[in-house]
Amino acid sequence: MRLFLMTAPMLAMMAAVGASAQDQTPHSQPDVLESPTPQIDFPAFVKLTGEVAELREQRLLPKDVFLEQALADGALLLDTRSAEAFRLGHIEGAVNLPFSDFTDEKLAKVIGENRDRPIYIYCNNNFSDNVEPIGLKAAPLALNIPTFINLVGYGYANVWELDGVMTIAEVPWQAEPMFAQLKVVAPQTTP
């Protein structure tokens, strides 16, 4: 009963929003797409996402092909997880630039001046282990998706993505040794 009481208002609200959306003409945009802040342009992001969708589908690589190409001369294996997650473990040969740190300057510093350089990306959701440092994200929010979109948006269109789900044992995983996490405290001696 309690679930019904909580769910009924939500369903009514969703129906009202749906009815409101149906009242719009086919060419009108919902108010949420209007960007009052020029530095936060949601409509442009939606447009970019649509433009990148087909390219991304063509750039999904199976594990063996991905690893071979990502570790080739001139390629960049980019890990955009947090610095802490990267420190705890990553695919061997990867370079870290956390997604939240993406700017033109930082991308150029890590990727180099060649905007056609092949860039290979992966994220937590490529792994089924679901343990630190690769805890699963909600599937529509997997880090590969915004990473791909943003790299293309910044002008790096030669992006390739690891396809599929595997365990970290199936890739050359470089993890921080366990002993590096331990802090040894020397016993105090009295003279």
Higher model confidence: residue 86 or residue 8?
A: 86
User: Cα(40)–Cα(34) distance, rounded to whole angstroms?
Assistant: 10
Amino acid symbol at 169: A
Predicted pLDDT of residue 171: 96
Q: What is the pLDDT of residue 189?
A: 52
Q: DSSP letters of 13-60?
A: HHHHHHHHHHTS-TT---GGG--SSTT--HHHHHHHHHHHHHHHHHTE
Q: What is the pLDDT of residue 38?
A: 83
Characterize the bridge pairing of strands 159-162 and 119-122.
parallel
Per-residue pLDDT reduced to its tens digit, 115-160:
999 999 999 999 999 998 999 999 999 999 999 999 999 999 999 9
Task: Domains for the chain: give ranges and CATH numbers.
Answer: 60-175 (3.40.250.10)
| Sign of the CA dihedral with 105 first, then 106, 111, and 117 last | negative
Whole-number pLDDT of residue 157: 94
pLDDT band (50, 70, 90) for residue 187: very low
